[in-house]
Structure 1
Amino acid sequence: MTTTPNPAAPSSSGVPPPSGARSGWAAGGTMFAAVLMMINGVLAIFEGIAALAKDDVVWRVRDYTFKFDLTAWGWIHLILGIIVLIVGIGVLKGTPWGRALGVALTGLMIVLHFLWLPYQPFWSLIAIAIGVFVIWALCVDRSRDPF
């Protein structure tokens, strides 16, 4: 009776598995990151709508270096939210462009929420933390790398 070794299991010689072996944690993290990107995109769309409607959801800021008109912030959030939602769907489908664009756009969303801190501080900190996890998850899973 012969058995075939599991390539993802660590060998008894202490040699790590081949680089092409898919890590369950990283693969699950990538799927979770894609879902978080889509949710973050939808929430950015709602932030944009709230800023465009000049609702009381957004705090008024007086002296701030990056102070834009709320309408400008609304359009920035709305457009970037739609793009992040689309790229999140691409990451979920496993498209070749999805991960690279996902990392780049999530980095842009982190910067956007850093600049948005005075307007919605609690949500901005949460969105930044989510963005850091998404970037980590998209960079760690190397299972679909062409290299």
Structure 2
Amino acid sequence: MLQKAIWIVRSGVFRMAVGIPYYVQIFSVPDQRCGIVRPTFSGLRAPQPCYPATKVFAVIYPAITYTMGSQPAGVSLSGYAEEGLFYAVLATVIAGSLIGLISVLARGNDPMSIAMQVAGCLYAYYVTQVPLTATLLNSYGLVWLIAPLAAMRALAWMTSIILRK
């Protein structure tokens, strides 16, 4: 019983780290790389046949065949699995730059700045879990976090112009 409890705690603590050696080993071979992950836009096109997180999960846990699992990895490791070292560095620079830009835009204490801070925190979390294109375009991506904030900012600007007249 104690050994099972230790295993459960250890699995929770090292959940993300367990996949790192597998990602490096599997995707060091260029033929194994999956290509840049594209959003599926349900109904418009079939899902990508190779997805790094599910490919690694199948190698880590070969006995689990009753379901498809996922071993998440951050933008840098996912980028390596998608297109190699150069893309991994590029994806990391892009994600870091976006986090920096959001931080600059969220400097105030007004409600819009606080909402932008929350969007930035959410985006930073997803950067640690999924590939770059997913952090931007999937249903939880940055586009969908920023779009309502940009719309509110535009409405506030238009309202201020109308009220001045």
Common fold, TM-score beyond 0.5?
A: no
* Greater helix fraction, Structure 1 or Structure 2: 2
- TM-score of the pair, normalised by structure 1: 0.34
- TM-score of the pair, normalised by structure 2: 0.31
